[in-house]
């Protein structure tokens, strides 16, 4: 069963505030998208990457894909208005033999190859939906629209969820068939009653969202 990565890079990066969409912002001499492709393709299990780019930047994404170690194994398609739409566009471009799908944010450009491998191992061990998570160090409160606290969940039960998120292809495709939006793909599986397993994440898989995050990423690469 081959393993495909749907690498979503179709967002604008409004919170980063750069002149171009976030995936094309240069970090240590290379666009974030290129960092993400390199790391994904370093995982020996990964046979194919579908890059989902903004419709305005297909040519730029194609040029980045052509510089990868295996250009024939990287396809580029146009994304949609929301992240969920971009993932759906990537799923539509999977190849026939792709049985395991990892959905990954280009914005988590430093996620290491070892994280991809760990998730694939978990799916191959019989878990149809597996996501990486990090224990939270802050106390997290649930608030209503008026800012009033309605609950303080036990911190030990909470995880900050990252990507890549790994699924059996049929499970993910079925979950997306609902046409609903969600902030991550696992939530669609949860909504249809599917089991999602959380495994240990990786601090390097943090999401580059703001200029501060970009500076943090630069520091990591300088270490």
Ligand X SMILES: C[C@](O)(CO)[C@H](O)COP(=O)(O)O
Instruction: Name the residue nearer to ligand CTP (CB basis): 90 or 148.
Output: 90
Rounded distance, CA 155 to CA 150, Å? 15
The two tokens of residue 38 are 């390199």
The tokens 């601090």 sit on which residue? 203
Structure tokens at 175: 């979950």
- Residues in contact with ligand CTP by CB under 6 A are 8-15, 22-23, 52, 79-83, 86, 105-107, 207, 209
CA distance 67 to 16: 25
| Per-residue interface string for the shown chain with ligand X, residues 164-183, x marking contact by CB under 6 A | -------------------x
User: Minimum Å distance from CB 45 to ligand X?
Assistant: 21
Does 207 help bind ligand X (rule: CB under 6 A)? yes
Report how far residue 78's alpha carbon sits from residue 199's, in angstroms, rounded to the nearest whole number. Answer: 31
Q: Which residue lies nearer to ligand X by CB, 73 or 87?
A: 87
CB 132 within 8 A of CB 199: yes
Which residue of the chain is nearest ligand CTP when measured via CB? 11
Q: Which ranges of the chain does DSSP label H, i.e. alpha helix?
A: 32-42, 58-66, 83-91, 113-124, 169-176, 185-191, 211-222
15 binds, among ligand CTP, ligand X, none (CB under 5 to 8 A by kind): ligand CTP
Q: Examine residue 60 and tell whether it contacts ligand X (CB under 6 A).
A: no
Nearer to ligand X, 127 or 207 (CB): 207
Residues engaged in binding ligand X (CB under 6 A)? 83, 105, 161-163, 183-184, 207
């Amino acid at each position: 069963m081959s393993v495909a990565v749907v690498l979503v890079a179709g967002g604008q990066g409004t919170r980063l505030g750069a002149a171009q969409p976030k995936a094309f912002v240069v970090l240590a001499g290379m666009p974030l998208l290129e960092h993400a492709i390199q790391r994904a393709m370093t995982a020996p299990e990964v046979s194919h990457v579908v890059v989902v780019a903004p419709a305005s930047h297909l040519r730029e994404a194609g040029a980045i894909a052509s510089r990868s170690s295996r250009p024939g194994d990287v396809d580029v398609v146009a994304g949609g208005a929301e992240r969920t739409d971009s993932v759906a566009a990537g799923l539509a471009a999977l190849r026939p033999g792709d049985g395991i799908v990892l959905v990954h944010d280009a914005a988590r450009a430093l996620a290491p190859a070892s994280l991809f491998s760990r998730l694939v191992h978990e799916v191959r061990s019989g878990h149809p939906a597996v996501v990486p998570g990090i224990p939270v160090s802050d106390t997290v409160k649930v608030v209503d629209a008026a800012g009033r606290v309605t609950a303080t969940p036990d911190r030990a039960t909470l995880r900050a969820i990252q990507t890549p998120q790994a699924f059996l292809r049929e499970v993910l495709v079925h979950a997306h068939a609902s046409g609903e939006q969600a902030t991550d793909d696992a939530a669609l599986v949860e909504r249809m009653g599917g089991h999602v397993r959380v495994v240990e994440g990786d601090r390097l898989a943090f999401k580059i969202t703001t200029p501060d995050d970009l500076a943090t990423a630069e520091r990591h690469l300088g270490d």
